[in-house]
Structure 1
Amino acid sequence: MTATAPKASTGQKTDLVEMAWDPITRIVGSLGIYTKIDFGAKRVAECHSTSSIFRGYSIFMKGKDPRDAHFITSRICGICGDNHATCSVYNQNMAYGVRPPHLGEWIINLGEAAEYMFDHNIYQENLVGVDFCEKMISETNPGVLELANRTEARGAAEHGYRTVGDIMRALNPFTGEFYREALQVSRYTREMFCLMEGRHVHPSTLYPGGVGTTATIQLFTDYLSRLMRYVEFMKRVVPMHDDLFDFMYEALPGYEEVGRRRVLLGCWGSLNDPEHCDFDYRTMTNWGRKMFVTPGVVVDGKLVTTDLVEINLGIRILLGSSFYRGWEDQEKFVNVDPLGHPVSQDHPWNQHTIPAPQKRDFDDKYSWTMSPRWFDGKDHLPLDTGGGPIARLWATALAGLVDIGTVKSTGHSVEIHLPRTALRPARDFTWTPPTDKSGAPLSNAIERDRARTYFQAYAAAAALHFVEKAMAEVRGGNTKTWESFVVPDDSVSCGFTEAVRGVLSHHMVIRDGKIANYHPYPPTPWNGSVRDKFGTPGPYEDAVQNTPIFEENSPDNFKGIDIMRAVRSFDPCLPCGVHMYLGNGRQLHKETSPTQLNLP
């Protein structure tokens, strides 16, 4: 539920201040957030999200050998390149009709689980965690820091920090104890990935048909020894973050509205079960539901589908405020899917990328990001991923399809079991879909961040199952990790998985043995999409608009920390930049009326 605009009578003057953060995030600076803030009402009145970079992978993929697709698309990102490589390999497996040996799939699952552990850890503790550290809180909400220093941490016995203030100090960049510890964790989780797929972040042993990894008991033991260190680490992290996030609600009543938007979540599922997954589109509904992270679309807190075929056919790529020309007059590559269902002209299989660069105009076109939507037969829904974990956990919890001992979905929750480790006893955690005080489903900045912590534990627990399965294959003499294939002259295929930050799909059309059309859609185009042809804002824009301002600074010294938390909770995938603030704002005077505010 989004907070409503303040009421005003006809002729009432509202003072709005234009403020921009461009680039935003602490990773690559092609994301800009442009706002108009009503400091009198302490609320963001308007928001536009921009992307200032055009890369064109969908253009130069045409004519390439399909077998090169995963090597090329891995370079889309320097952070989640392996997710792209994995999704591309899934896509190619479908195109070539190849089913990898079970051991090959368990190795890929172990690599992807390690990537979730690595990336979520470094982002949560070393990037977004800084927004909650002592230094940041002291500069934006000194009153909150005073309270934090007096507030006993409920989970102190588990994580070792006596007060919430101590937790905040531990998160201080470069000097904080926990900040530095998390950097070390990121090192050995990256090593875990490299053990499985050779190189991070662009895998060197990942191919269609399986992997080139030499599988031995020693290999999996090396992985497992690091995994158990991570399991022990997570037994401290989950209660520590619960203490921090619960405190934010207690210290700042109403903070649940920061970054809040309607619950419209998409998860494409990840971590295939090789005993069921054959990569055949015609059986995709069944093997999709066997994934260890269940695909699903959640609308207003309710799970509306877990069918990957239905999810696929519902994808629409809309324009509106994007720097592109429509493709209505262009060739349609796919009329029906392999099951005979009609395919929309706006589907990725039929998309054409036609750049139309122009001056940015917030009343017209203002970004290189398109507007992916999911069509439910009636509405084009602006799904978000919530940074990945909240959508994954919500869909998996409600589906009730996963039960492997270490993780279980119950139909209303996800249960995570972390076994005994060297220094700590076994620990169980339960994640349930969050609600506000009235019981309404809640997707906001804090809950997106909290879900990221719980999904780290989920990934670790699932990896314990994958290690056991992989070792059983090797002990049974089933050491083959790759299956041969033949590239067809013509094919239509798709791959679905979850990148760290959420939904990832690759769609390919092969003609005469070459790529005729290829469209990868990672989570950021969904989360960072702009106003579509219907005027519907994208998730960043929607989450920031109407966000209340709790920062104690005046407009002259405003840092926008509540806005930053709202956007960063989505884990924007724009690698390796800096957070930059431009200017102190420009005063606007705008006459508003009830009509303009959409009031009754």
Structure 2
Amino acid sequence: MTATTSSKGKAAAKDGLVEMAWDPITRIVGSLGIYTKIDFKNATVAECHSTSSIFRGYSLFMKGKDPRDAHFITSRICGICGDNHATCSCYAQNMAYGVKPPHLGEWIVNLGEAAEYMFDHNIFQENLVGVDYCERMVKETNPSVLAKAENTPAPNAEAHGYKTVADIMRALNPFSGEFYREALQVSRSTREMFCLMEGRHVHPSTLYAGGVGTVATVQLMTDYLTRLMRYVEFMKKVVPMHDDLFDFFYEALPGYENVGLRRTLLGCWGSFQDPEYCNFSYADMTDWGRKMFVTPGVVVDGKLVTNDLVDINLGIRILLGSSYYEDWNDQETFVTHDPLGNPVDRRHPWNQHTNPHPAKRDLEDKYSWVMSPRWFDGKDHLALDTGGGPLARLWSTALSGLVDNGYVKATGHSVQIELPKTALKPPVTFEWKIPKWSNTLERNRARTYFQAYAAACALHFAEKALAEIRAGRTQTWEKFEVPDQAISCGFTEAVRGVLSHHMVIRDGKIANYHPYPPTPWNASPRDSFGTPGPYEDAVQDQPLFEENKGDAFKGIDVMRTVRSFDPCLPCGVHMYLGGGKTLQKLHTPTMATPE
């Protein structure tokens, strides 16, 4: 599916459509709304718009601040992944100040970020996404599927303990399900792991530019490892269980691969620095970026376009289109060339100005506070998505084939994950293979595998940290001075996808600062070329398999698709049926889309 209005969508619009909206849809201040037009006759979504109803303005009040405060301020962008913002901001500061943290400090940052991935992916996948596939939900939306699940043996029952697929679904029932409750307990220990490394969750208290303030001891690492090994054992159950569940949906509902399917346009900015190579210098960013333990990359139609962070940085464009902002064409240009002498585009975050222009929501014009980040490949402004984070991370890492540390290995077509012997289970090798589709089920499956990937990486990081401690190299922070002038950027992966911070310093103060988390990439509205954002594109024209119709319709296939992107923890979902009003649409406006 390309990012245009397909002929199928246009044809459906000539028939009666029912307006249906889910607003709010996420936990992030209830700001995300999904507005659709459902074609019940053909069982498809004829049209989809993704809206955000809140303006936050961090880029405005960052101006004039001491850059050393940037990570403490930007951490508050989100109450879920604030530590990802703090980490990314520290990376940008390290570049601006020309400081290289001690190895031990970076291993501790990696251990904290790994714990965050494990915590957030676990609680989202098992306690929120899992509910969409639980017995109670499937019984209400697809009773025939549940009946089949009751009689379908789980292929990996020996590994996870559930005899049938229906038993897996029952275990996912909220509050009453055995697995649902077990996952809640696991989330507690992973949060403790993060706090051991960075002081508190979700706004770290010991993370700074130049390293960390954590006092590193053997006991600290032991406390982390005891919790990590319990998590490793948990993953030996989770991966095969989810494989059984997601494989079953392909089997039970032929054609379900088209739910949430969009053209493979994936972006990953890389994660987990290797302190033996990373010096945070922009001049060396190509090399140390490729040494990350999650390899950055842009994947187009299944092929790796680049894994060079300099290329990735220079390709970012911020478009407006359907968002509530005025353009900045007549305003100051902060950066004309990067530190390597490459020209920097007017629409790059370094040169962005934020000019809010509130207006009444109009789905044919301006309808969202989210801007439209795109990646320019020299020809097209690509609406990259993050695959919820893990799909892009694993796909890019697999294709690059650069990672091999004894616990995880990228083969060029897959990622192998080695989990060692634990208290009750023998060693296990998992292999995530590049899938046929970038769709709802594969976004969810990748999230499960990346939990195991993060755990395996954490084992490596802990070994490296212990080696530093035992060798007496216990320094975790390096001093620095704030320069009068600097431009810098930080790149990492927030839990749900790409995260970059772009900073300009003048006279020792922040002159321009723009953070770009995964939400604007995934939830962006139609841009100035008319290209839908990833949520819109993935939902629009997708088939509907739910057996309910009319007022009983729950929209489960739409919800599964939006949730598969991990939109900052969906909960508190409210549904609006528009009174069941049927639309008589006389014509369908066309959208200008770049060739």
After TM superposition, the score normalised by the length of structure 1 is 0.96
Q: 2:475 aligns with which of 459, 480, 490?
A: 480
Equivalence for 2:8: 6
Within 2, Cα distance between the matches of 1:591 and 1:220? 66
Equivalence for 2:585: 590
- Aligned with 2:455: secondary structure? helix
- Residue by residue over 1:538-593, the C-alpha shift from the partner in whole angstroms, topping out at 9 and shown as x without a partner, is 000000000101000011211100000010000002x6751111235321122468
Structure 1 residue 433 displacement after superposition: 1.0
Structure 1 residue 6 displacement after superposition: 3.5
Equivalence for 1:141: 142
Matched AA of 2:476: T
- Aligned with 1:69: secondary structure? helix
Equivalence for 1:297: 298
CA distance change for structure 1 residues 246 and 323 in 2, over 3 Å: closer, same or farther? same
Equivalence for 1:230: 231
1:133-172 maps to which residues of 2 (within 5 A)? Answer: 133-172=134-173
Matched AA of 2:573: H
Establish whether residue 524 from structure 1 lines up as the match of residue 519 from structure 2. yes
Within 1, Cα distance between the matches of 2:370 and 2:590? 30
Equivalence for 2:90: 89
Within 2, Cα distance between the matches of 1:13 and 1:502? 37
1:511-550 maps to which residues of 2 (within 5 A)? Answer: 511-550=506-545
1:398-417 maps to which residues of 2 (within 5 A)? Answer: 398-417=399-418
Matched AA of 1:582: Y
Matched AA of 1:201: V
- Aligned with 2:145: secondary structure? helix
Equivalence for 2:269: 268
Equivalence for 1:496: 491
Establish whether residue 580 from structure 1 lines up as the match of residue 581 from structure 2. no
Structure 2: gaps spanning 5 or more residues: none
Structure 1: gaps spanning 5 or more residues: 436-441
Within 2, Cα distance between the matches of 1:13 and 1:205? 59
Matched AA of 1:464: L
Structure 1 residue 195 displacement after superposition: 0.2
Equivalence for 1:561: 556
- Residue by residue over 1:167-209, the C-alpha shift from the partner in whole angstroms, topping out at 9 and shown as x without a partner, is 0000000110000000000000000000000000000000000
Structure 1 residue 26 displacement after superposition: 5.5
- Aligned with 1:405: secondary structure? coil
Equivalence for 1:184: 185
1:194-343 maps to which residues of 2 (within 5 A)? Answer: 194-343=195-344
Within 2, Cα distance between the matches of 1:386 and 1:7? 23
Within 2, Cα distance between the matches of 1:24 and 1:509? 34
CA distance change for structure 1 residues 8 and 414 in 2, over 3 Å: closer, same or farther? closer
- Aligned with 1:515: secondary structure? strand
- Aligned with 2:585: secondary structure? strand
Asked whether the 8 Å contact 1:263–1:443 carries over to 2, the reply is yes
Asked whether the 8 Å contact 2:9–2:541 carries over to 1, the reply is no
Within 1, Cα distance between the matches of 2:374 and 2:14? 36
CA distance change for structure 1 residues 457 and 449 in 2, over 3 Å: closer, same or farther? same
Structure 1 residue 388 displacement after superposition: 0.1
Asked whether the 8 Å contact 2:152–2:164 carries over to 1, the reply is yes
Equivalence for 1:438: none
Establish whether residue 100 from structure 1 lines up as the match of residue 95 from structure 2. no
Asked whether the 8 Å contact 1:496–1:506 carries over to 2, the reply is yes
- Residue by residue over 1:339-365, the C-alpha shift from the partner in whole angstroms, topping out at 9 and shown as x without a partner, is 000000100000000000010111110
Matched AA of 1:366: Y
Equivalence for 1:356: 357
Within 2, Cα distance between the matches of 1:16 and 1:5? 16
- Aligned with 2:525: secondary structure? coil
Asked whether the 8 Å contact 1:264–1:300 carries over to 2, the reply is yes
- Aligned with 1:127: secondary structure? helix
Asked whether the 8 Å contact 1:19–1:586 carries over to 2, the reply is no
Asked whether the 8 Å contact 1:5–1:546 carries over to 2, the reply is no
Matched AA of 1:173: P
Equivalence for 1:451: 446
CA distance change for structure 1 residues 593 and 474 in 2, over 3 Å: closer, same or farther? closer
Asked whether the 8 Å contact 1:294–1:392 carries over to 2, the reply is yes
After TM superposition, the score normalised by the length of structure 2 is 0.97
Asked whether the 8 Å contact 1:14–1:592 carries over to 2, the reply is no
CA distance change for structure 1 residues 27 and 348 in 2, over 3 Å: closer, same or farther? closer
CA distance change for structure 1 residues 243 and 5 in 2, over 3 Å: closer, same or farther? farther
Asked whether the 8 Å contact 1:7–1:594 carries over to 2, the reply is no
- Residue by residue over 1:376-435, the C-alpha shift from the partner in whole angstroms, topping out at 9 and shown as x without a partner, is 000000000010000000000000000000000011110000000000000000011101
Asked whether the 8 Å contact 2:47–2:540 carries over to 1, the reply is yes
- Aligned with 2:159: secondary structure? helix
- Aligned with 2:182: secondary structure? helix
Within 1, Cα distance between the matches of 2:69 and 2:160? 46
Deviates more, 1:18-27 or 1:388-397: 18-27
Structure 1 residue 7 displacement after superposition: 8.9
Matched AA of 1:553: N
Within 2, Cα distance between the matches of 1:43 and 1:425? 46
Within 2, Cα distance between the matches of 1:189 and 1:552? 38
Asked whether the 8 Å contact 1:14–1:591 carries over to 2, the reply is no
CA distance change for structure 1 residues 160 and 69 in 2, over 3 Å: closer, same or farther? same
The list of structure 1 runs, each at least 4 consecutive aligned residues, that deviate by more than 3 angstroms after superposition, is 1-9, 25-28, 591-596
Establish whether residue 460 from structure 1 lines up as the match of residue 458 from structure 2. no
Within 2, Cα distance between the matches of 1:503 and 1:422? 35
Equivalence for 1:439: none
Count residues in correspondence: 590
- Residue by residue over 1:75-117, the C-alpha shift from the partner in whole angstroms, topping out at 9 and shown as x without a partner, is 0000000000000000000000000000000000000000000
- Residue by residue over 1:199-231, the C-alpha shift from the partner in whole angstroms, topping out at 9 and shown as x without a partner, is 000000000000000000000000000000000
CA distance change for structure 1 residues 277 and 563 in 2, over 3 Å: closer, same or farther? same
Matched AA of 1:283: D
Computed over aligned residues only, the root mean square deviation of the Cα atoms, in angstroms, reads 1.7
Matched AA of 2:159: E
